[in-house]
Structure 1
Amino acid sequence: MGKDSFAPGDSKKGANLFKTRCAQCHNLKEGEGNKIGPNLHGLFGRKTGEVEGFAYSDANKQKGITWENDTLFEYLENPKKYIPGTKMAFGGLKKAKDRNDLITFLAEETK
């Protein structure tokens, strides 16, 4: 498993990470609406700052990247470093394995 790039992980472990580290601020399913953070349904292939009805920071709107495995892998390590000015208060997942597990789960659950 690559340490500096995405590699498929364990979605069950990713589900637990989502529950304990992400679910308080994000929903996953279509139609569930936004919480403190935007709903993540349809995340893959979407550009930063595009969830309808969510008040993004200018930094998120202007970043202009498309969310996919590699961009999420880098972002989730340190969100405030990847998008300076983001409103996301999450400090990040430092372990590559944790990021891989979470991204694998998100890829399955946000379609």
Structure 2
Amino acid sequence: DSPLLLSAVGGNVSISCATSRGVNTYKKINHLLAWYQQKDGESPKLLIYYASTRESGIPSRFTGSGSNSDFTLTISEIQAEDAAVYYCQSFHFINSQRVFTQ
């Protein structure tokens, strides 16, 4: 089972993600880190890419941080609609092969 994090509305939550291979945080496609939100019955929604860049339309209370192999998604001022499963995904272009990890 996935770890469960609980917060009262208005609280803050931090979700950690550790990758087995280092990820560059600058805008280079070879290695990147993204965060997704998936609500019940819906497809995953991109929140953050390049570790800290918010997708268009994502509220500023969603913040990505970290570098190399350790990353964090912070949700500030939690709202009821933030109830979801959150995933981190790393992308690597290694030896001409695209590698995605969850």
TM-score normalised by structure 1 residue count:
0.28
**Larger radius of gyration, structure 1 or 2?**
2
* Higher relative helix content: 1
* Higher relative strand content: 2
